[in-house]
Amino acid sequence: MKKFQSILITGASSGVGEALAEGLAGESVFLAISGRDEVRLNHVAEKCRSLGASVEARVIDVTDQAAMKTWIEQVDQAQTLDLVIANAGVSPGTSGESVTDAKMRRMLEINVTGVLNTIDPIIPKMAERKTGSLGLVSSVAGFRGLPSAPGYGASKAWVRSYGEGLRGSLYADGICVSVICPGFIRSRITDQNNFPMPFFMDAPKAAKIIINGLKKNKARIAFPLPVYALVWLMSSLPVWLTDTIFRKLPTKE
């Protein structure tokens, strides 16, 4: 199993990102974490330091390509990153709320462009070293277009497809790529939902599953298993057969 000593995580100020940072923290571990809320991010940094890690916390917008490139290259030059997790993501609106065009475009910038801005600067560095791992956070919502959340599902489908393609294309460069597809995890995103969320999971438990999968270089880290099995089955069936079922899902966007 892989052992990660120098790690960068985006969206680490809450939810799964926070839990991943704390789960990976330890003696002789360096963490570079980013988020948009300075107070929450600093709180996570202090918790990780108390666990023995050396931490650099940076308030940064993942959609800022130039800033992300500069930050990631500076961190890598100083610490030689062996794991980068593109975790930052949003889902606009609460249940039953409409999503404006501006909110939808902002979501796509964060969920799609933000992933590119996180991994593009480090790929050439890892390729030169012929080693390194990438974790791209998608969702089980990315396996089939959902009438309840078409924009969010589409953004996560892009991440899943891109990550799975990268795994093959970067194999010869010695870079491991894992696509992470969680179900409903306690976070600021799910706090907005007012509909039933089957197999709801706390973030620390989810982080343990993700970290274990990354250490094993799993191609796809999808969970909880019953939810993953269901969406996999639904994505395999003809659309005309599943349309009626999906139309009855509660509205997220």
Instruction: Give the pLDDT confidence score for residue 194 in this predicted structure.
Output: 56
185 with 168: CB under 8 angstroms? no
Q: All domains of the chain, ordered by start, with CATH?
A: 6-247 (3.40.50.720)
Residue-level pLDDT, tens digit, the chain, 253 residues:
899 999 999 999 999 999 999 999 999 999 999 999 999 999 999 999 999 999 999 999 999 999 999 999 999 999 999 999 999 999 875 444 567 889 999 999 999 999 999 999 999 999 999 999 999 999 999 998 877 788 999 999 999 999 999 999 999 999 999 999 999 887 666 556 555 566 779 999 999 999 999 999 999 999 999 889 988 888 888 888 888 777 766 555 4
Of the residues 152, 162, 171, 228, only one is catalytic, namely 152
Instruction: Give the pLDDT confidence score for residue 145 in this predicted structure.
Output: 81
Cα–Cα distance between 107 and 34 in angstroms, integer? 18
Sheet holding 54-59, edge to edge: 54-59, 30-35, 6-9, 83-86, 133-137, 176-182, 220-223
Question: Does the annotation count 152 as an active-site position?
Answer: yes
Instruction: Give the pLDDT confidence score for residue 94 in this predicted structure.
Output: 46
Cα–Cα distance between 189 and 25 in angstroms, integer? 24
Give, as one character, the DSSP assignment of residue 174.
T
Instruction: Give the pLDDT confidence score for residue 191 in this predicted structure.
Output: 53
The residues that bridge with 201 in the sheet, in sequence order, are 185
Residues constituting the chain? 253
Instruction: Give the pLDDT confidence score for residue 190 in this predicted structure.
Output: 56
Tell me the pLDDT tens digit for each residue of 217-230: 999 999 999 889 98
Cα–Cα distance between 73 and 77 in angstroms, integer? 6
Cα–Cα distance between 249 and 121 in angstroms, integer? 39
Spell 153-172 as b/e; 16+ CB within 10 A means b: bbbbbbbbebbbebbeebee
183 with 199: CB under 8 angstroms? yes
Tell me the pLDDT tens digit for each residue of 150-194: 899 999 999 999 999 999 999 999 999 999 999 988 766 655 655
